[in-house]
Amino acid sequence: MKLGKHILFIFFFLTSLLLSAQVKFETKVSKKRLGVNERLRVDFEMDQDGDNFNPPSFNGFTVIGGPNQAVNYSWVNGKKTFKKSYSYFLAPKTRGALTIGQATIEIDGEIYKTTPVKVDITAAVDKPTDVNDPNYKAINTVHLVAEVSNTNPYLNEAITVVYKLYVAASTAVTNWREIDTPRYDDFWSQNLDTKGQRPQNTTYKDEDYRYLVLRKTVLYPQRTGELKLEPLSLNVDIQVPTNRRDIFGSRLMSKVSRTIAAGSRTINVKPLPSVGKPADFSGAVGDFSFKVTPSKTELDATESFQAKVEVRGKGNLKLFNLPKLNLPSSLEVYEPEHNENVSTTSKGMQGSISDTYTVVPQYRGKYPLPQVSFSYFDLASETYKRLSSDEIVINVLDGPVNSASEANNTTANTSVKQPVLSSNQFAFIKTKTNLVSTKEEYFFKSKLFWSLLFGPFIAIPLAIVVRRKKVSRDADVVGNKRRKADKLARKYLKGAKKELGKKEAFYDALEKALHNYLKAKLRIETSELSKDRIQSLLTENGVETNVVNDFLAIFENCELARYTPITNVTMQADYDKAAKTISLIDKQAR
């Protein structure tokens, strides 16, 4: 009986040890039911330290904050406990049942996964209108507005959409990013450059505001009726004042992240009037001039000249076809070369478009160019207008006579004169040849034969020179150590270099690279990577103080980059500094 109790005790003891040795890695959410206008916090927690954490894709959500990493140690009854977490703040994109997918992490060479968590997203919920609540202040002090120059244009008439971000005087926006860019499916569109603009003071709803133009787009409607403009959505980081003050009496600010959108707009597009519409109307709308210009009016037969058909002015220049130039059959005409010299401003397109025809007369005589007409819809008078080219006569002074035209001026019994052939009539026939010998070549005494014969004798001195350089390089201890350090820096920073230009991904990769380098160099775990610990270990290993300070500064930049706007120039500077610092540490550390 006693033996059975001992066996049972040992069984329970071993089972408890086995359970205590299992890794705990789970997903925790702040709430499982929330409105589409609320925010969700997600924590991925583990009770053992790990590496290579990979979050889920967060389908259906917009990441507005994170990842924020936290490590916690505690001692309870002499037992050490450890907890590490990665936190994200999410904004739902739509209503319905959404799932937080599996996250993965590597612990002691094993891959662990969390269990997916389902979250129900309901319609927007009413939030308390507490004037002291930072979220309430953010809602009422930052606005995104789409200003449309004309909501009732004609078909193919230019309109401009300007997206302005209005910020109250007491509030500051530190960063923003587009999360939903509008598509203009029923419009020809072109974005205008808005870089380098400065905020301007104005009033909005009778209050003092500042505004900044974020996007400016010129649109030409391509369909009549009611057309929808999709909204532009932004995620903005806002600093709003609180009721708390610092020791100097200045008001403290609170940071809030929220999603704002410029409401969708409806454009009522009018069709062009059918009354008075010319039969040859090709869709030109605006204010134009038209002309046909020859490069010369006197020449000899078989010489060429250019006839340029050009439309100049303001309107939808890129959206219609120029009239064709129809010439007599005795003038040889080539396909026209199309040219556009058009610029787009906030008022639409302006400039010129042209078709240039190359024409070659075959016979002597005078050739009138037929008149060419161009019609367009004039927006100022709301009527159709027609422009015609001037009458042009091309005088061919010298060349063969057109026998067909001469026959019309003589009697039926008069013999027809044969045209005099020009000197270049048969210019297309090649008179030069490029013959290739078909004589059989032998390997003996060929170039390849002599190369193989004397090649080894030339290679031997080269091999001796290369060998001496290698021995000299191997003896260069300082140079080899520097090259090895530079190669090591490139190895660890390879992942960060691929993400240059993407702020969050770049600094996550940079921070991970620095951690992995320290683990390999100092042989310490991630849980020991505190600022003081890193500083003491590097100093103990003989690394200079200024290099240690530079290394710690890079860590601080990785942390600050999550909350402040960063340019590509700053990211490149941090990357170069990290590579240089890793190389210096590897050369100095004992």
Q: Which residue has the higher pLDDT, 429 or 280?
A: 280
Indicate if the pLDDT at residue 468 is higher than 80: no
Q: Which residue has the higher pLDDT, 13 or 448?
A: 448
Q: Which residue has the higher pLDDT, 158 or 300?
A: 158
Query: Per the structure block, which two tokens stand in for 293?
Result: 């210009």
- pTM higher than 0.75, yes or no? no
Q: pLDDT averaged over the chain? A: 79
pLDDT of residue 246: 59
Domain 20-122 in this protein, CATH class: mainly beta
Q: How many CA atoms lie within 13 A of 75 on its CB side?
A: 1
Banded pLDDT at 252 (limits 50, 70, 90): low
Cα–Cα distance, 134 to 241 (Å, whole number):
8
DSSP secondary-structure letter at 432? -
pLDDT of residue 412: 38
Query: Per the structure block, which two tokens stand in for 234?
Result: 């932004």
pLDDT of residue 417: 38
In tens, the pLDDT along 111-135 reads 888 989 999 988 777 655 544 555 6
β-pairing verdict for 285-294 and 373-378: parallel
pLDDT of residue 163: 93
Average the pLDDT over 456-465 and give the result: 80
Show the beta-strand stretches assigned E in 38-78. 40-46, 51-54, 61-76
Task: Name beta bridge partners: 51.
Answer: 106
Banded pLDDT at 243 (limits 50, 70, 90): low
Banded pLDDT at 435 (limits 50, 70, 90): low
Q: Which residue has the higher pLDDT, 368 or 429?
A: 368
Q: What is the largest CA-CA distance in the chain?
A: 144
Query: Per the structure block, which two tokens stand in for 181?
Result: 């860019």
Indicate if the pLDDT at residue 478 is higher than 90: no
DSSP 212-238: EEEEEEEEEE-S-EEEEEPPPEEEEEE
Indicate if the pLDDT at residue 322 is higher than 50: yes
Average the pLDDT over 303-324 and give the result: 93
Indicate if the pLDDT at residue 268 is higher than 60: yes
Sign of dihedral through CA atoms 425, 427, 432, 433? Answer: negative
Domain 478-588 in this protein, CATH class: mainly alpha
Q: Classify 542 in phi/psi space as left (phi over 0), alpha (psi -120 to 50) or beta.
A: left
Indicate if the pLDDT at residue 379 is higher than 90: yes
- The reply to whether omega before 92 is within 30° of 0 (cis) is no
Q: Which residue has the higher pLDDT, 263 or 142?
A: 142
DSSP secondary-structure letter at 398? S
Average the pLDDT over 223-243 and give the result: 83
Q: Which of 361, 429, 426 is nearest to 399 (CA)?
A: 361
Task: Name beta bridge partners: 235.
Answer: 177, 259
At position 360, the amino acid (one-letter code) is V
Q: Tell me the percentage of the chain whose pLDDT exceeds 70.
A: 76
pLDDT of residue 500: 76
pLDDT of residue 383: 95
Q: Phi and psi for 358 in degrees, rounded to 5?
A: -95, 125
Is 319:156 a contact under the CB 8 Å cutoff?
Answer: yes
**Distances in whole angstroms, Cα of residue 55 to Cα of each of 86, 466, 503:** 9, 50, 17
Is 133:125 a contact under the CB 8 Å cutoff?
Answer: no
For residue 59, the Cα-to-chain-centroid distance in whole angstroms is: 21
Banded pLDDT at 550 (limits 50, 70, 90): confident
> Which of 5-19, 176-190, 436-450, 567-581 is least confident?
5-19
Indicate if the pLDDT at residue 528 is higher than 60: no
Average the pLDDT over 571-587 and give the result: 80
541: Cβ–Cβ under 8 A, 6 or more apart, which residues?
522, 588, 589, 590
Q: Is 189 helix (H, G, I), strand (E, B) or coil?
A: strand
Q: Which residue has the higher pLDDT, 503 or 326?
A: 326
pLDDT of residue 242: 67
Q: Which of 217, 379, 267, 372 is nearest to 314 (CA)?
A: 379
Q: Which residue has the higher pLDDT, 423 or 277?
A: 277
Average the pLDDT over 322-328 and give the result: 89
Domain locations in the chain?
A: 20-122, 134-269, 288-371+387-396, 478-588
Banded pLDDT at 422 (limits 50, 70, 90): very low
pLDDT of residue 411: 38
Indicate if the pLDDT at residue 264 is higher than 70: yes
DSSP secondary-structure letter at 426? T
pLDDT of residue 421: 43
> Which of 118-122, 145-149, 314-318, 544-548 is least confident?
544-548
Is 511:560 a contact under the CB 8 Å cutoff?
Answer: no
Indicate if the pLDDT at residue 208 is higher than 50: yes
Banded pLDDT at 425 (limits 50, 70, 90): very low
The edge-to-edge listing of strands for the beta sheet with 79-92 is 25-29, 40-46, 79-92, 61-76
3-state secondary structure 293-330: EECCCEECCCCCEEEEEEEEEEECHHHCCCCCCCCCCC
Is 187:148 a contact under the CB 8 Å cutoff?
Answer: no
pLDDT of residue 223: 92
Q: Which residue has the higher pLDDT, 489 or 106?
A: 106
Q: Which of 174, 215, 84 is nearest to 528 (CA)?
A: 84
Banded pLDDT at 17 (limits 50, 70, 90): very low
